[in-house]
Every structure is written in C-alpha cells, then in structure tokens.
Amino acid sequence: MSSKQWTLLYTAQSYEEAKDLAKSRFNVCQNRRSDLNDQTKYSFKCSEYRKYPLCHFQIKIIVPDNNMNSITIMSKNEHEHEQNERNTTTRLPSPIRESISNYVKCGLSQPQIKASLILNYPQSPIDQVKLSNKIVYERRRDRPEIFSVYDLRNWCSQHQEGERLHSTFVPFYTVDDINNLFIFFTTKQLFQQIRLTTYLQIDATYKLTWNNLPLLVFGSTDANRHFKPFGIALISHDENAECYKQLFNSINTLAIQEFNH
C-alpha cells in the first residue's frame, strides 16, 4: 500500500554525505534532480525498480540554497519485492553479469572478457549487444557524476591541487551559477610544454560539453604544424574579451607558480 506522507529520516552536512547514506542504507538509485526557487531536490527510487515495477519506495534529498550544510533526507512508501510481482528479465544470467563486473574491475578489454566468458560458460550463449551494454555500464559505475552547479563547485574545490603529473586539476575556477562560470583544467605534464613556445593558440568548441557551454582549448603547434594542447577552460558565455583576459591571467599566474618566472 502506497503512502502519500514523507517521513524525515536523517539530516546531513553535505549532499555527498546524504547521497552515500541513501544509497548504502536504502537500496536506491538517483532518479531526477529538480532546481526549485530556494532549494535543489534530488529524487531517488528503488534500485531494483526494473525487477519490481510495483515497488514505489522513494527517497528525496533537499539541499537549501541558503544553507547547504543543513540537508534533509526523507522517504515515502515501503520496498515491495514480492516474487510474484517481479518482471521477467531478458538480461544476461546473474553469474555472467557478476563475472563481467569482476573482469571490468581487473581492467580486461572487451575481447578478453568475451573470451573468458566463452571459456567459463561454454553452454551459455553470450549476446554481443547485452555484453557490450553491461561492460559500458560497469565502466561507468564508479566514475564521479556531477548533477548541479553545487556539485561542480565541490568537485573543483577537491581538485584544485595538482598532486600527480598526469592527473587533471583545476588551479583557477569561478562557479557562481550557470551564467557566471569559468573553470581552468590542465595537468602538470601538459602545462610544462608551455615553456617551449612563444605563442599561444586558442580555439573554442561547443560540442559535447556540460550544458552545451563553450570550451576554450589553448596550446601551440610544433614544427610539423600539429596542435599540442596545454589545457582547456569551460566558460559560461560566448567568447569575448573578458573571458580571454581571465584565461590569459590564469595561464600567467599558473606559470609563475609552477616555474617561478
């Protein structure tokens, strides 16, 4: 029986804490995000909703705009996992799905995974499309996801220091809202190349970027006229003098910090 009443479960000091708590204790997955006038609402539903379509259990996390350290976690309804209510499935068998998950964690390629499955499950036909979809899903599972400006700002703050040569870091960023945004991405290895050139080239792309925002790519060309990128900058508006000024100032400041000149 479904209930229309929301019940307060917990409070948290960050969205990440609330999300981890909801997923670990209540077997839910994120369903949608709603940007309201004074708060952001994250909705979650049962992780097994495909198996049990009659399960109406829900979790919602409320992040107030004026107090992001006072986050509420609420629930509605109960999990309903009766076997006679379960959907028939066309997925790969559970042992095969579990093996694929383990192979992905070990870093195997898709041909290697397929060969291992044929060896270990010779009597089970492996659908190529289902295999590919499962591999893609497993590879994406542990990647960090960004759902809002609030999450993006937190991610930038956590990646402001370049600790390793090839890891991406964000030495400079401004993330106020979707209309006032500048994020400078690079790696120490890429940025070191800037010492080898006198001139910089900058190009802008609008393809495959978050919220279709412009992306500035800066770098230089070698003797064979091959472009070598040094970093990128995500901006919130069309190219203008102000965004280039901010980019050049960031490059100059980082060069002084990294190379002491």
Identify the pLDDT of residue 225. 82
Same domain as 182, residue 132:
no
Q: Looking at the structure, do residues 29 and 66 belong to the same domain, yes or no?
A: yes
Residue 51 CA from chain centroid, whole number: 26
Structural domain that includes position 179: 149-259
CA–CA distance, 237 with 258 (Å, rounded to integer): 29
Exposure of 227 by Cβ count < 10 A (0-12 exposed, 13-18 middle, 19+ buried)? exposed
Whole-number Å distance between alpha carbons of 235 and 201 = 17
Residue at 219 is within a domain: yes
Q: Final residue of a domain: which of 85, 107, 126? A: 85
Region 70-84 average pLDDT: 87
Segment 189-206, tens digit of pLDDT: 999 988 888 888 888 776
Q: 0.75 exceeded by the pTM?
A: no
**Cα-based distances in Å from 261 to 1, 84, 179, 190:** 69, 71, 34, 18
**Structure token pair of residue 253:** 């400041």
- Given 122, 141, 160, which residue is the final one in a domain? 141
Residue 14 belongs to some domain of the structure? yes
Residue 81 lies in a domain: yes
Q: Are 169 and 231 in contact (CB under 8 A)?
A: no
Residue 75 falls within a domain, yes or no? yes
170: in domain: yes
One domain, residues 153 and 254: yes
Residue 1 is assigned to a structural domain of this protein: no
| Residues 130 and 185 occupy one common structural domain | no
**CA 51 → CA 3, 44, 215, 245, 258, distances in Å?**
21, 16, 41, 54, 53
Is the pLDDT at 208 greater than 60, yes or no?
Answer: no
Residue 145 has a pLDDT of 57
Domain count within the chain: 3
Last residue of a domain, one of 141, 171, 205: 141
pLDDT at 1: 46
Q: Are residues 128 and 39 in the same domain?
A: no
Same-domain pairing of 211 and 153: yes
Cα atoms in the 13 Å half-sphere on the side-chain side of 63: 21
Cβ proximity of 217 and 208 under 8 Å:
no
Q: So what's the pLDDT on residue 91?
A: 78
The answer to whether residue 73 is domain-embedded is yes
Residues 76 and 110 placed together within one structural domain of the fold: no
Contact between 149 and 180 under an 8 Å Cβ cutoff? The reply is no
Position 2 in a domain: no
Token code pair at residue 158? 């956590």
Q: What is the CATH number of the domain that holds 41?
A: 2.20.25
Residues 111 and 76 in one domain: no
**Each residue's pLDDT tens digit, 215-234:** 889 998 887 888 888 999 99
